[in-house]
Structure formats: structure tokens, C-alpha cells
Amino acid sequence: MVKCVNLCKSFGNQVVFRNFSYSFHGLGIQTITGPSGCGKTTLSRMIMGLENPDYGTIERPKELRFSAAFPEDRLIPTLTALENVNYPLGNQRECARELLEILQLTDSIDCYPHELSSGMKQRVSLARAMAYQGDILLLDEPFRGLDNELKEYILSILTSQAAKMPVIIFSHEVNLLQRVSDTFLHLDHYTHLEAP
């Protein structure tokens, strides 16, 4: 569904990727992991077309739609949690409400982003990504700001979601994701290189 072919990407003298090739396809959880600064967010942005590689290509169908949650919440500050999740739906507030309830945010439905903790914002962002119903669910650090119990709960939701659509997760949560991932790649092998 998405194929990375010989990707090269540098920022100044820091080579993030050199001839990186990898394919994402099929249902299930596909995890890309590695320490901070190894290129997880850069790769996720290149896959979605938000950033271009210096060399190489990303092969994907033109009509492919991504549902995405980013490391930062990107919530609309003037909208409540319910309104933020409902935004990509048009006018399906009951569906938005149901997603927030699933993500244990029932008491925060009418709260604005500035009234939410970082973990709550993260869950609202996840609910909004799930509401969009794209072809692939792409999540960059979806467990940020969550305690261990919530991480396990969110992982169970994502596992269920992965039975219906590909779920690509970029995260440093190696131990959490390794046991449930259908494919697992550690990016540390492709970073920390100096440009020639």
C-alpha cells in the first residue's frame, strides 16, 4: 500500500536516512520505533507527503487517505473536545461522542483544549483521527502523556482497529508494541550518520 524506495534525507550534516527501503501493507499494527531523533517523525511526514525526501520515492495510491495523529495535539483551541472530534465528520456528534466515551473522556466532552491535560489532549487527537476514517491510521507517539494502564487500554483499542485497517505506529515504546505488532522495525540502524 505504501512503499519507501531508497529514501535519503539529511538535515545539514545529519543524515537521517540513507537508501532506506521499506513497505507497509495489509491489516495489523506496523510499528516503527527507535530513540528520539532517529527519524520517526520525519519518516511519518514523508509517508503522508508532508515532507519530501532528498532522494528516493514514496510509492502510494493517489487516492490513499491517511487518518493521522501527530506528536503535538493540533486541536482547534476554540472548539470543545466533542467539536474537535466532530470536525472531520461534518455533523455526526453522536459518533464523535461515542469515540470520546470509548477513549474514557466522557467527563471532558465539553472541555476546551486548554482545560485538558496532555494525555487527555492526546486521546482527543486519537479520537479525531479515528473519526476521519481514512484508509490508513498513522499515529506518531500516540502514548505520550499516558500512564501504563491507559497505554494498555489504548493499545487494545488500536489492536481492534488494526483488524479493519492498517495501523502504522511511530513510537519509542518498544516493550509495549513489540508483543502486538505484525511488523516491527527499529530505525536506529538508519540514523546518527554524518554526511560525507
Name the strand (E) or helix (H) holding 24. strand 14-24
Per CATH, the homologous superfamily of domain 1-64+137-142+167-196 is P-loop containing nucleotide triphosphate hydrolases (3.40.50.300)
Q: What is d(CA 91, CA 34) in angstroms, rounded to the nearest whole number?
A: 39
* Residue 49 predicted with pLDDT over 60: yes
pLDDT tens digit sequence for 67-105: 999 988 899 999 999 999 999 887 788 899 999 999 999
Tell which residue, 80, 85, 69, 76, has the closest CA to residue 108.
Answer: 80
pLDDT level of residue 190 (50, 70, 90 thresholds): low
pLDDT at 193: 43
Q: Which residue spans of the chain are classified as CATH 3.40.50.300?
A: 1-64+137-142+167-196
Query: Is 100 in contact with 106 (CB distance < 8 Å)?
Result: yes
pLDDT tens digit sequence for 95-112: 999 999 999 999 999 999
Task: Choose between 190 and 146: higher pLDDT.
Answer: 146
Q: What is d(CA 139, CA 31) in angstroms, rounded to the nearest whole number?
A: 10
Contact partners, residue 187, CB within 8 Å, separation at least 6: 32, 33, 34, 38, 39, 40, 43
pTM over 0.85: yes
